[in-house]
Structure 1
Amino acid sequence: MNIERSQEVLGLGEHTASCKNAWSISGSIGCNRRFSCGLFADIFGGNLACILKSRDPTGDCESEITLENTYVCHWHLHPDLYDSLCGYLTKNSGAVVVSVGYRLAPEHRCPAAFDDCLKATVHFLKTAQEHGVDPSSVIICGDSAGGNLTAGVCQCLVGIADIPKPLAQVMIYPALQIADFNVPSYEQNKMVPLLLRERAVYCAIMYIGADLSLSKEMIKGSHVTPEVREKLNKWLSSEEFQVKGYKPHIMAPFNKGVYEKVKKSLELPCSPLFSDDAVIRQLPKAYILTCEFDVLRDDGILYKKRLEDNGVPVTWFHVKDGFHGIFTLFDQPEVVSGKLAMDNVITYIKNL
């Protein structure tokens, strides 16, 4: 059966690109890297997930996997970036890795990606034992926008009854708020690759489905409500953000017209940073990785503070010479911090 025909059978419709990416992951990992790769599809509206299990190193047969940790990754199934990454995680952590192929903006606006990840996660939590996985050992993970999805999914799971809860959440330089593009890390790193401030704003606008003409107003903070401003002022006044040479940014006056056009940017799932304490205090233990030279650095630090203030255990790893995107560069010898970040995440998983 060719891939075009298989996507019809699976009911994937417009998700052909995701299907092709997942298919190539299946082939390359199954043939070249001693991993077993299974796919399940059309279980939550046509999305694909790739399940990786370590093979027995002494032979070609898959070793029996019984009730072990699972890493549910909120990464898009893109073979160029996440094929080797997911394979490396599987091989070196000893965990089953489930990678979700969620829909992407701008073709699919918020909350499409979030809905896909939530449905995939709930489905897997309910059926984990069918894959030899203890449902109480599931770890939810994502990097960058995937870190946003990880935080949002974990928060939403708090309110869903009759399903196992994840053991932990792993957020790698996560994007956790679309309110203040002038926190210290944005000011310091706005021209630092790989994620410039303008690019971050562009991605946020594409995700929420707003008009790009609103980018300047969003950078100025015109869309931020008085309630959110009060929270940010309180959190940013703590000593973690007393950065030498940083001058606090004064937001433009609140503009209700701008707010009405982008108000979802301040709500879940776009900005899990602002969720109520009643939700935050019920979240699983967390691992947060931040990089010094990254506009999203302070998103992670702010969320770390919110979790800790609500009694949630947090393991924080800060890469002092790191920049946005290093995690996907773990296999590049010249990017030492990428391998450092990857190994630290694996150590955290193995020690849970």
Structure 2
Amino acid sequence: MAVLWLLLLAGLPSFLLGLFVWVALQHFLAAEMPSTLKHSVKLRLMHCIIQYLITLGNILEKLRICAMPRFVQFLQGLMAIKKDPNVLVTDMHFGTIPVRLLKPKEVSSQPRRDCYHSLGSLLASETDSVVLMVGYRKLPHYHHPVLTNDCQNASIYFLKNLESFGVDPSRVVLCGESIGGWAAPTVMKTLVSNPSLPRIKAQILIYPLVNFINFQLPSHQQNKNVPFLTRDMLFMCLCKHLAIDISWKDTMLAGAVIPLDKWKKYRKWLSSDNIPKRFWSQDPQPEIIGPFNEAAYLETKHTWSTEISPLLADDKIIARFPETFLVSCEHDILRDDVLLYKKRLEEQEVPVSWYHVEDGFHGCLVLFDKKCFSFPCSVKLTNAVVSYIKGI
């Protein structure tokens, strides 16, 4: 038995190295790098590392050792957290929901703003804000709608107790990035429908997913292989979250899960016709819906709910939304989701500020302080968010 363990330990480094070489060969050259993306070699390398860790996690999952999402979360937990000496951090619970409260240590004479944001420490110190981050429950044990429910319940509790946290009720900001930007409109829908809660001053949505129906938008065609959010990764994550079998992926991509009557009703909001022509490629693929697959529709019909596709919310609800700051990145598969949502808000006369990062890609925001792993677009995007909050 001892000999067997020695052989396994001796072979493990070779296996891990071989796996990395295989993943690198699969993804290093396959990833698409538009000419306007800066530091493309660094981005390719980071993309390969992420794909390597996901592949390793999938192997562990198949061996029934550890679920892939749990493995990725474990690795994230090993990353050192940069502490800001000017920010006071308090971990607490709102009922069963873990939250982290961040506020500047320096005493302010005025009640501070609040915003939800993954870059809480920076925003707390740079904008003199109280920041609440919600520790919503995650995969692999929790699926939709747990994420939005946790964010919604924590938001309601916080809004009912703003004074105890030193927050000005007239200057509250709701913010979400990536999947958080997907949850934020659902939370906002609940908040604006409750007259007993303080009115939200603004919402900040950073490359959010607001449509899980039309995957033939120009950005899906142009950026399907651009790191970090490739089309394969998008479907892997969201199908797990929404409990949809990944085998329906091609059917969903082809639009075969869209009933003709629903397409006629919602085309005005979902169609590529709403995307300005300057965002189209020189040789765009036509938008084709069907042929309809009823079995696939029955498995995926929950994607038509406004909790999953916030773009489909009623006009009366969207018209009550506060002023909104939208951020899109040129080389992001979700770029056109932002453009569709921008048009949707403007049609209901919601004040919209839009910041488009020409050299940006999905996920670049979280790299703003990662030194050698940072990008110019990361810093520009962060500064834009800080500037917007300061101007409220």
- 1:321 match: secondary structure: strand
Deviation, structure 1 residue 268: 2.3
Distance 2:320 2:298 in 1: 30
In structure 1, stretches of 5+ residues that fail to align are 1-15, 57-62, 74-81
Report the counterpart of residue 236 of structure 1 in structure 2. 272
CA 1:24/1:203 → structure 2, altered by over 3 Å: closer, same or farther?
closer
Report the counterpart of residue 324 of structure 2 in structure 1. 286
Find 2:208's aligned residue among 174, 177, 180: 174
Length-normalised TM-score, structure 1? 0.83
Alignment of 1:93-172 (within 5 A): 93-172=127-206
Deviation, structure 1 residue 218: 1.5
Distance 2:109 2:290 in 1: 56
Distance 2:133 2:254 in 1: 36
Q: Deviations over 1:35-54 (max 9, x none)?
A: 1112221x24x111111011
Say which is worse superposed, 200-209 or 231-240, in terms of deviation: 231-240
Distance 1:225 1:98 in 2: 40
Distance 2:244 2:391 in 1: 42
Deviation, structure 1 residue 153: 0.9
Report the counterpart of residue 90 of structure 2 in structure 1. 38
Say which is worse superposed, 90-99 or 230-239, in terms of deviation: 230-239
CA contact (8 A) 1:202 1:215 kept: no
Report the counterpart of residue 316 of structure 1 in structure 2. 354
- 2:162 match: secondary structure: helix
Distance 1:149 1:91 in 2: 25
CA 1:166/1:119 → structure 2, altered by over 3 Å: closer, same or farther?
same
Length-normalised TM-score, structure 2? 0.75
RMSD: 2.7
Deviation, structure 1 residue 328: 0.3
Distance 2:319 2:286 in 1: 29
- 1:190 match: secondary structure: coil
- 1:237 match: secondary structure: helix
CA contact (8 A) 1:147 1:175 kept: yes
CA contact (8 A) 1:126 1:135 kept: no
Report the counterpart of residue 69 of structure 1 in structure 2. 113
Matched, 1:302 2:336: no
Distance 1:236 1:214 in 2: 22
CA contact (8 A) 1:142 1:150 kept: yes
Distance 1:239 1:133 in 2: 38
CA contact (8 A) 1:140 1:168 kept: yes
Q: Which entry has the higher C-alpha Rg, 1 or 2?
A: 2
Find 1:252's aligned residue among 266, 285, 290: 290
Aligned length: 316
CA 1:227/1:104 → structure 2, altered by over 3 Å: closer, same or farther?
farther
Deviation, structure 1 residue 159: 1.9
Q: Which amino acid aligns with 1:122?
A: I
Matched, 1:335 2:375: yes
Deviation, structure 1 residue 24: 10
Identity %: 32
Find 1:51's aligned residue among 88, 95, 101: 101
CA 1:339/1:188 → structure 2, altered by over 3 Å: closer, same or farther?
same
CA contact (8 A) 1:72 1:138 kept: no
